[in-house]
Amino acid sequence: MFSFPKSKDSRNNGASVKLASYAVLGVIGTVFVSSAFPPFFTLTSSRAVINAPLVPLTTPISGKVMSLGSADQITVENDRVDNSTLIGLKVQLVALHDELAQKNGIVADYAQRIKDFENDLAGQQEALLARTNADLKAAEAALEMVTYSSRIAKAEAARKLRLMARGIAAGTQDEVADTVRLEDAKLEAAGLSVAKLVSEADFARQGIYVGSDQQSLQNLQQEIRTRKADLLQIKMQIATMRSKEAELGSLVATEGERVQRLARADLRIPQTSQLYKPIAASGREVTAGDTLAEMLDCRDTFVVAIFSERQAQALSVGSKVQVSADGWARVADGTVMRLVPRTTDRVDLDYAVPFPPTERRELYAYIRLTEPGQDVFRQSQFCSVGTWVDVTIPQEWLQKTQEYVREASISLIGIAQASAAQWPAPETELNGLVRRSAVRLGLAKGTGRDMKGPRDISAPEKMPAVQPSRTGAHAADLLNVRMGIPAKS
């Protein structure tokens, strides 16, 4: 470090002007070099273009293109679709409907007949019960009569036995006993007749008809059972036919949808994409799988940049870069997605624009812009595809250096405007500024080291003793040496 003792005003004034002039010129030169020649200090690629993969819009059917290039819809129609299967299924379904209608008619007829038979049987059952009840009452009356007559006969037989025992009446005991047995048999027969009629009435109420005189009721009852069995079988057949009808209806609907899909296809461009280039013209015959148009999805837009292998040493997947272009309001931030040494013509066909050609020892860098930068693509036609941009790998030390140089230039300009009479104070400030800038630049590059500060020459007691007559010359020579100017002889 250096210091200046107090000297004459004229010599201090000259040294101050020289120092300030050289400092300002040096700062201006540094700022100009760092601003005008950034490629020497930064990694920038001007061979970068915005690109996007093409999304093909293919036709699922064969036919004729009826409309193309409209807002967002393309229609393909095919009037030669084979619908014989659909016709056959419809014929089967119609036949099944007719058979079901016939079966339903039979069911209704059987139900009505069974109802009529049941009503007839109910009427005859009611008549049978009425007749049986009448016979039962007659049998009960006959039983009562037999009971009374039996008592009288038994009393007469007992009196006859007493008379026979006295020898008054003629006869034998066997005759009297037979008379008693006859009366008992009559009474029992009358009771059995009553019991029989009671059973027949109970059976008639239960729908059980026994006897040849009730054969018609038995036949009517059997007819009802047969009709009901037939009706149940027909209902089972109807249930099976309805299941088949549902199956045929599903097949007809599926086949109809298939025929409809093969006969007409309305293709719409998704809202997230936009039509980039029509391929098939209206009226053209196409087959299934042919590409009708190509679309772009702005969400898949990226920047492909060319870097040399030397520059690519500073790149890796996930590296942060900056992308700029003419007309952009600001610089967009991006991230390196992958590095590719080369591509082929076949790969270029899958993208909106061909990749820029590379030279020896160069590679491609795929760069995806951050979400705020994607707005540039969405608001532009065709996602800004084909726009040439500049991709820069930011260098933190260079940005910090430019900031320090600007700060130093502002400080030095202030020093140059200081009074010549106060030269020691500006010189001290200059030394401090040089020291601070050196330390900050060293830290920015990772090579910072501790530097001793300049000697404080503002205090008179710390100034070295120098001959006054050589102070001005010594200061000028020392400044010239530090500025790189040879000393005067």
Q: What is the largest CA-CA distance in the chain?
A: 211
- State the virtual CA torsion across 220, 226, 231, 236 in degrees, nearest 10: 160
129 by Cβ neighbours in 10 Å (0-12 / 13-18 / 19+) ranks as middle
pLDDT at 478: 38
CA dihedral for 252, 253, 256, 261, sign (positive or negative): negative
450 phi/psi in degrees, rounded to 5: -80, 130
Nearest Cα residue to 369 out of 413, 405, 320, 416: 320
User: Rg of the chain over CA atoms, in angstroms?
Assistant: 62
In whole angstroms, how far apart are CA 333 and each of 40, 177, 305, 319, 374?
22, 139, 14, 11, 10
Give the C-alpha separation, 489 to 474, whole Å.
13
484: left (phi over 0), alpha (psi -120 to 50) or beta: left
67 phi/psi in degrees, rounded to 5: -145, 140
Give the C-alpha separation, 211 to 361, whole Å.
118
Helical ranges in 37-172 per DSSP H: 84-166
pLDDT at 229: 93
The answer to whether 136 and 191 are in contact (CB under 8 A) is no
Count of other CB atoms within 10 angstroms of residue 367 = 27
DSSP state string for 220-268:
HHHHHHHHHHHHHHHHHHHHHHHHHHHHHHHHHHHHHHHHHHHHEEEEE
Total residues belonging to the chain: 489
pLDDT at 427: 54
Residue-wise pLDDT tens for the chain (489 aa)? 444 444 545 555 555 556 656 665 665 665 555 444 444 445 788 889 989 888 888 888 888 888 765 557 788 888 888 889 999 999 999 999 999 999 999 999 999 999 998 898 888 888 888 888 888 888 888 888 888 888 888 888 888 888 887 777 777 878 888 888 888 888 888 888 888 888 888 888 888 877 777 888 888 888 999 999 999 999 999 999 999 999 999 999 999 998 988 888 888 888 778 888 888 888 888 888 888 888 888 888 899 999 888 777 777 888 888 898 887 888 888 899 988 888 777 777 888 888 888 888 888 989 998 876 666 665 566 778 888 999 988 765 555 555 656 666 666 666 655 544 454 555 565 566 556 655 555 554 444 444 333 333 333 333 333 343 333 344 344 334 433 444 444
Residue 56 DSSP SS3? strand
- Spatial strand order of the sheet with 73-77 comes to 264-268, 73-77, 63-67, 285-286
Nearest Cα residue to 394 out of 325, 320, 330, 476: 320
Determine the residue type at 181.
R
Instruction: Give residue for tokens 């039979």.
Output: 106
- Going by their DSSP bridges, the two strands 73-77 and 291-297 should be labelled as unpaired
Question: What domains appear along the chain, each with residue ranges and CATH number?
Answer: 9-38+399-483 (no CATH), 46-56+294-393 (2.40.30.170), 59-81+264-291 (2.40.50), 84-248 (1.10.287)
How far, in whole angstroms, is CA 187 from its chain's centroid? 97
pLDDT at 271: 79
